[in-house]
Structure 1
């Protein structure tokens, strides 16, 4: 049951990247995130839905064009932490980025997001 709740919040969060219009992003994020959410992303730490909204809108405005974000794995959830893989693809064979997010849930909403973009390099 926990994994289904986490998957619902995660899929709603991901849907914000794919919203048909920027005006829907805030509403989707509000359904998936706590107001005091903490985002640990490629550019550092930020707090609040507004910060996550800026992050999502920046990705939506990728120079290669509006891309598509999809969850590319199941949701693995030990206790209140969950992880999943994702793929972001831009149009016309543009850049493709993959990664893994780790999220923490509180009362069925995501209150922390840790973004790991790209693959971990193997040990040589």
Structure 2
């Protein structure tokens, strides 16, 4: 698998996990995308481990007061070496944008994300 394919695979599994309603499915997808000791820099601070990412998704992403939501990748994955970035949109069930952003991730040679940094803005 090429570096670009490894990055795409890990990032798409991470986004699928963010969109998974079933906690067991979410955990499986995160185990495919992230190292066990992933460092996660989100809007609420720093967390370490898949559980920190899973808790963020459960509480913030899936628990949004707007009801059902989803994360959509809005750009191609730009991956110079082991770092990658991608744009995303967080939207409600009607497609209304709730938040937009750009994430930067570090991907290991095995193709797992071991660091995530989230940059988010309210939609314009």
**Paired position in structure 2 for 1:44:** 45
Shift of 1:95: 5.4
- Unaligned runs of at least 5 residues, structure 2: none
**Paired position in structure 1 for 2:3:** 2
**Paired position in structure 2 for 1:122:** none
Shift of 1:20: 4.0
1:64 and 1:95 in contact (8 A); partners too: no
**Paired position in structure 1 for 2:19:** 18
Alpha-carbon RMSD? 1.4
TM-score where L is the length of structure 2:
0.90
- Unaligned runs of at least 5 residues, structure 1: 120-124
Match for residue 75 of structure 1 among 74, 77, 80:
77
- Cα distance change of structure 1 residues 110 and 62 upon mapping to structure 2, 3 Å threshold: same
TM-score where L is the length of structure 1:
0.90
**In 1: Cα distance, 2:19 partner to 2:45 partner:** 23
What are the Cα deviations for residues 21-48 of structure 1, in whole angstroms up to 9, with x where unaligned?
2331111100000000000010111000
- How many residue pairs get aligned? The number is 119
1:64 and 1:94 in contact (8 A); partners too: no
